[in-house]
Chains A and B, each alone.
Chain A
């Protein structure tokens, strides 16, 4: 017993490792990323401390005075600057006088510092004044520090005496790397854009699922069941074509159909309608074609599953029900549909998840347009994290959106199992003689 159990574990180990690496890890990593603010700007490794205008702006909301002070230029007459001045080999008096008279002075602006330099006894030319003042420029704006220590040290030298709270605020505002945060979920929860995308997704999934992936598939399976075998298989094969056509080509054909110089426009032109892009002209049209494109692909799977499930019903049950007086409609209602409960549950569940997660047909056809009319959740996540118009790819936010999708999928699956009473489907029979 023990050995066989160990052996079993060893045998399953490669598969278990695969599952961990390729199935579980992506979900775990998504969850991890979703709790960060990672983006193109932050990078995915650690960052530095950079006093940019953006950082100053961030600081302004909490500490406006400090922010203004940090943003302003600072000119400090220090030993370092004086030594640099000596190295320029200008008139030696300049350096000597600055060291003797002005060492340690701090000026809030370039003008103030240059006024002092101009007033030196050796009278530097205007060009020289500029060069000299540059040597004493100690402004931190647009300076990059590798560590927080270096940033604070530099600020202290410039005469900022920051309390711990201020230090924290400055460090936080100037940090360029990613940090842990739950802001992504707040964004998702509060943004009206997200709410719209959520509604789009619900509409898209519900309509495609109801009318095509389950409804139309069921219709096809039932009608082909009552057809002659040869006709039925031709019919099924035709409905499989969208599934086996490469999706790029399939969508391209839809585009040809709907473009402003495509078949639809040409056809409508016969009746005097001006050509237009039926796919992207308005939101209703876009939804209509997006749902058709996905529905025709999705219906084939349900059709196959339902057809084979109907075939699995013994033929004598159909004979018996005919003899019992059942019409075709009653046969469907009382004999076929009740026995398709499990396949319908399976197809509904599976297709909900795949509709929630797949966006390739929409990406290829409307790209979520016109505007963001057909932007669905997974496409929005893709746009946010991987393909952004502004160029700043927000991995963290995208991961959070993907995580929401996973959670919704799990919740929906549980609801389906409940609605279709999965427990009664697997209950054991009580055979007694």
Chain B
């Protein structure tokens, strides 16, 4: 089902958290709300599920305006960061709770709970209590409980934050599988760009209560609208160099001079920031940059280097494993100017 936020605003007292946000999530789509803590992404989620009431604006599920409806009357499934399982109920009772409160017959509840539990592979744990489950199992119970009533939208609030690294990887693909199998519209709230990029069809990146950019993961990675977006996506992160515009080129110190088509109309002397992703600095490229290796990290398949330039700026480089460079060595590596991103002083991409 299509979810639409129309000029949605939310304030707590005099603090404005979200102002006039517009957001559309297509039917069957999985969208990530990505942003640092305090950017308003959880507030948006809580408004969609009805725990918070919007200060102004409308929320539509399909064509139905649910703005004024309490949570109980919206058909939403939510997986909370802490899972919020009911500790005194068994797994089956937890999963079946949304049906219990609708006064469905106990036998039917049990049957449906068992079906949905099979979908998330916990049908052997139905009589356990939450305290007797591992984190990953609890997560699956929370998912099953959110899905059992076939909600219009599945809301996931940092669902992987409390899991260890290996389980996180497993549940990432598991949640995506479920979402695709059930064809449900889903919104994932996360501060982890890897989660957002790997699980979702589209990402809405948020900063200070506003959506900065909304697009597919690869588009957002390759074509970020602002320096903030570029800095938020990518691991290891992009590195920035502060420089100046001069005759349609980006000038950094007296060593680097990049001719960039985007800078043709920029007056000389404007302050600019150049973003270089680690994979675009290393063995291949058109501009030579000299520096000194300050840090080297082996990641098995690849090595990550921090190169300090003469003015103490740092460029990161990721390269296939090589053993000929050590910390402290002077290097002269090449930078791919075509892939470099250039931003105006206010962070706007040029």
Q: Which residues of A contact B (CB under 8 A)?
A: 314, 316-317, 319-327, 330, 334-335, 338-339, 341, 429-433
> A430 CA to B125 CA in the complex, in Å?
12
CB of B86 within 8 Å of the partner chain: yes
Closest to B148 in A: A324
**Within the complex, what minimum Cβ distance (angstroms) separates B261 from chain A?**
51
CB of B97 within 8 A of CB of A334, answer yes
> A330 CA to B99 CA in the complex, in Å?
12
Residues of chain B from 68 to 95 with CB closer than 8 A to chain A in the complex:
70-72, 74, 76-78, 80-82, 84, 86-89
Cβ-defined partner of A324 (8 Å) among B51, B131, B145:
B145
Question: Hey, which chain B residues are within 8 Å of A432, CB to CB?
Answer: 132, 134
Closest to B155 in A: A323
User: 29 A-B Cβ contacts within 8 A?
Assistant: A314-B82, A314-B84, A316-B80, A316-B82, A319-B46, A319-B51, A320-B78, A320-B80, A320-B145, A321-B97, A321-B101, A322-B51, A322-B72, A323-B50, A324-B97, A324-B98, A324-B145, A325-B72, A325-B102, A325-B149, A330-B101, A334-B97, A339-B87, A430-B128, A431-B132, A431-B133, A432-B132, A432-B134, A433-B134
> A338 CA to B86 CA in the complex, in Å?
10
**Within the complex, what minimum Cβ distance (angstroms) separates A344 from chain B?**
13
Q: A325-B72, A325-B149 are in contact. Are A317 and B86 (CB under 8 A)?
A: yes
CB of A320 within 8 A of CB of B101, answer no
User: Considering the complex of A and B, which 10 residue pairs feature the smallest CB-CB distances, nearest first?
Assistant: A316-B84, A320-B84, A429-B131, A322-B71, A324-B98, A433-B134, A338-B88, A326-B101, A323-B78, A316-B80
CB of B101 within 8 A of CB of A339, answer no
Closest to A327 in B: B72
Question: Hey, which chain A residues are within 8 Å of B82, CB to CB?
Answer: 314, 316
Question: Hey, which chain A residues are within 8 Å of B134, CB to CB?
Answer: 431-433
Question: Hey, which chain B residues are within 8 Å of A433, CB to CB?
Answer: 134
Cβ-defined partner of B131 (8 Å) among A314, A330, A338, A431:
A431
CB of A319 within 8 A of CB of B87, answer no
> A346 CA to B98 CA in the complex, in Å?
31
CB of A334 within 8 A of CB of B101, answer yes
**Within the complex, what minimum Cβ distance (angstroms) separates B137 from chain A?**
9
**Within the complex, what minimum Cβ distance (angstroms) separates A327 from chain B?**
6
**Within the complex, what minimum Cβ distance (angstroms) separates B340 from chain A?**
44
> A325 CA to B102 CA in the complex, in Å?
8
> A317 CA to B76 CA in the complex, in Å?
15
> A324 CA to B70 CA in the complex, in Å?
11
Question: Hey, which chain A residues are within 8 Å of B113, CB to CB?
Answer: none
**Within the complex, what minimum Cβ distance (angstroms) separates B95 from chain A?**
10
- Further contacts, 16 of them, CB under 8 A, given A319-B46, A339-B88, A429-B129: A314-B82, A316-B80, A316-B82, A317-B84, A317-B86, A319-B84, A321-B97, A323-B76, A324-B101, A326-B72, A327-B72, A327-B101, A334-B89, A334-B101, A338-B88, A341-B88
Question: Hey, which chain A residues are within 8 Å of B131, CB to CB?
Answer: 429, 431
Q: A317-B86, A320-B78, A339-B88 are in contact. Are A334 and B50 (CB under 8 A)?
A: no
Q: A319-B84, A338-B88 are in contact. Are A430 and B132 (CB under 8 A)?
A: yes
CB of B50 within 8 A of CB of A322, answer yes
Q: Which residues of B contact A (CB under 8 A)?
A: 46, 49-51, 70-72, 74, 76-78, 80-82, 84, 86-89, 97-98, 100-102, 128-129, 131-134, 145, 149
Closest to B52 in A: A319
> A431 CA to B129 CA in the complex, in Å?
10
Question: Hey, which chain B residues are within 8 Å of A323, CB to CB?
Answer: 49-51, 71, 74, 76-78
> A338 CA to B87 CA in the complex, in Å?
10
Question: Hey, which chain B residues are within 8 Å of A327, CB to CB?
Answer: 72, 101
Question: Hey, which chain A residues are within 8 Å of B98, CB to CB?
Answer: 324-325
Closest to A319 in B: B51
> A320 CA to B74 CA in the complex, in Å?
13
**Within the complex, what minimum Cβ distance (angstroms) separates B90 from chain A?**
12
**Within the complex, what minimum Cβ distance (angstroms) separates B64 from chain A?**
16
> A316 CA to B74 CA in the complex, in Å?
17
Question: Hey, which chain B residues are within 8 Å of A320, CB to CB?
Answer: 78, 80, 84, 86, 145
Question: Hey, which chain A residues are within 8 Å of B133, CB to CB?
Answer: 431
Residue of B51, B82, B100, B101 most packed against chain A (CB within 10 A): B101
> A335 CA to B145 CA in the complex, in Å?
15
Closest to A341 in B: B88
Question: Hey, which chain A residues are within 8 Å of B128, CB to CB?
Answer: 430
> A431 CA to B125 CA in the complex, in Å?
12
> A327 CA to B71 CA in the complex, in Å?
10
**Within the complex, what minimum Cβ distance (angstroms) separates B204 from chain A?**
22
Question: Hey, which chain A residues are within 8 Å of B129, CB to CB?
Answer: 429
> A314 CA to B82 CA in the complex, in Å?
9
> A433 CA to B137 CA in the complex, in Å?
9
CB of A429 within 8 A of CB of B132, answer yes
Question: Hey, which chain A residues are within 8 Å of B102, CB to CB?
Answer: 325
Question: Hey, which chain B residues are within 8 Å of A326, CB to CB?
Answer: 72, 97, 101
**Within the complex, what minimum Cβ distance (angstroms) separates A302 from chain B?**
20
> A317 CA to B87 CA in the complex, in Å?
9
> A319 CA to B134 CA in the complex, in Å?
22
Residue of A319, A326, A341, A430 most packed against chain B (CB within 10 A): A319
**Within the complex, what minimum Cβ distance (angstroms) separates B284 from chain A?**
45
**Within the complex, what minimum Cβ distance (angstroms) separates A338 from chain B?**
4
Question: Hey, which chain A residues are within 8 Å of B70, CB to CB?
Answer: 322
Residue of A316, A319, A323, A335 most packed against chain B (CB within 10 A): A323
> A316 CA to B129 CA in the complex, in Å?
18
Residue of A317, A320, A335, A429 most packed against chain B (CB within 10 A): A320
Q: A314-B84, A319-B80 are in contact. Are A325 and B101 (CB under 8 A)?
A: yes
> A317 CA to B145 CA in the complex, in Å?
13
Closest to B135 in A: A433
**Within the complex, what minimum Cβ distance (angstroms) separates A346 from chain B?**
17
> A430 CA to B128 CA in the complex, in Å?
9
Question: Hey, which chain B residues are within 8 Å of A317, CB to CB?
Answer: 84, 86
> A321 CA to B86 CA in the complex, in Å?
9
Question: Hey, which chain B residues are within 8 Å of A321, CB to CB?
Answer: 86, 97, 101
> A327 CA to B78 CA in the complex, in Å?
17
> A316 CA to B87 CA in the complex, in Å?
12
Question: Hey, which chain B residues are within 8 Å of A314, CB to CB?
Answer: 82, 84
Question: Hey, which chain A residues are within 8 Å of B97, CB to CB?
Answer: 321, 324, 326, 334
Closest to B151 in A: A323
Question: Hey, which chain B residues are within 8 Å of A341, CB to CB?
Answer: 88
Closest to A329 in B: B101
> A432 CA to B136 CA in the complex, in Å?
11
Closest to A431 in B: B132
Closest to B100 in A: A334
Closest to A429 in B: B131
Question: Hey, which chain B residues are within 8 Å of A335, CB to CB?
Answer: 86
Question: Hey, which chain B residues are within 8 Å of A429, CB to CB?
Answer: 129, 131-132
Residue of B49, B71, B145 most packed against chain A (CB within 10 A): B71
> A330 CA to B71 CA in the complex, in Å?
14
Question: Hey, which chain A residues are within 8 Å of B78, CB to CB?
Answer: 319-320, 323
Closest to A333 in B: B101
**Within the complex, what minimum Cβ distance (angstroms) separates A88 from chain B?**
97
